[in-house]
Amino acid sequence: MPELPDVEVLKKYLDSTALHQQVNHVEVADARAISVTPRTLKRNLKGRKMKGSRRHGKFLMVELDNGRYLVLHFGMTGQLKYYKGHDEKFENERVRFFFDNGYTLAYVCSRMLGEVDMTSDPEKFLRERRMGQDAMDFSQEAFLELLEGRRGSIKSALMNQNIICGIGNVYSDEILYQAKVDPRTKIKQLGKRELKQIYKKMRYVLEKAVDFQADGRRAPRTWLLGNRDLGEKCPRCGEALKRVQINSRNAFMCPGCQD
DNA sequence: AGTACCACCTGACGGC
DNA sequence: TGCCGTCAGGTGGTAC
């Protein structure tokens, strides 16, 4: 489920493949995946090179050499695939970019919850969507300020893209598990020490997850990530993991470690 | 501001 | 075997 670490991995993937290649042709296999018309997408991309990329939260912005940006969001099942040739076609490829070196970059998204968009101003794009600061891009002091005076649960706040950008259901569980904080805890019930610990674990978890390519199977065994299921046990204390509802969202936690 | 609920979407999975 | 309900999850909308 692409969250910040997954998107960071996709960014690195794009940077090492499609970057600096010239787009000869754009194919829109399913227009539902894109927020602009196929015509606009083609007009903006054709003949252009992808010259850089930046990530904000779960958004990947690809800068073109005409000053415009291709905006990629991966929803829950979004992926990128870069491969040689244009003929072979894989499942759920919604948009394909054909480069003049003979390679193809495919935006793959089975569940269609992602989106492909264009903007000429990433800052404005993010502002209009009221996106908060990227989760890897603010200080501990700023974190404390962001949460100051909020009434909801800590998990809701971590997942709220308008406050902090990049964390979803899975990694918010991981962060709170490692910080040993019950996800249902109200923010105003958290002391400064706990909030600092959450901040620290947020940075740690996101950074480490990028290191193991955001692949749950490669996560350390002491993490919640590979055990996030009913019937599984806490890798630290052995107690049965619990599933609780928070804002109609499933959260997994260890009733022994997190209190 | 926060919450509750709905909708979007499709593939996997369990029950019968 | 195959049909059907349910779930997963990010996001946006609406009503309270």
- In whole angstroms, B11 C1' to A168 CA is 21
When comparing pLDDT for A242 and A88, which is higher? A242
Asked whether residue A150's C-beta has any atom of DNA/RNA strand B within 7 A, the reply is: yes
Cβ count within 10 A of residue A44: 19
Asked if the model's pLDDT at residue A120 lies above 90, the reply is: yes
| Separation between Cα atoms, residue A102 and residue A105, nearest integer Å | 10
Q: pTM to 2 decimals? A: 0.96
In tens, the pLDDT along A219-229 reads 999 999 999 98
Mean pLDDT, range A159-182, rounded to an integer: 97
The mean predicted confidence, pLDDT, of chain A is 95
The residue whose CA lies nearest the C1' of nucleotide C10 is A75
Distances (CA, A) of A123 to A18, A55, A107, A129, A193: 23, 12, 23, 10, 33
- In whole angstroms, B16 C1' to A187 CA is 46
Asked whether residue A248's C-beta has any atom of DNA/RNA strand B within 7 A, the reply is: yes
- In whole angstroms, C16 C1' to A196 CA is 34
| Separation between Cα atoms, residue A66 and residue A53, nearest integer Å | 14
Judge residue A192's burial from the number of C-beta atoms within 10 Å of its C-beta, 0-12 exposed, 13-18 middle, 19 or more buried. Answer: exposed
Half-sphere exposure of A200 (CA within 13 A, CB side): 10
Asked whether residue A73's C-beta has any atom of DNA/RNA strand C within 7 A, the reply is: yes
In tens, the pLDDT along A1-43 reads 899 999 999 999 999 999 999 999 999 999 999 999 999 999 9
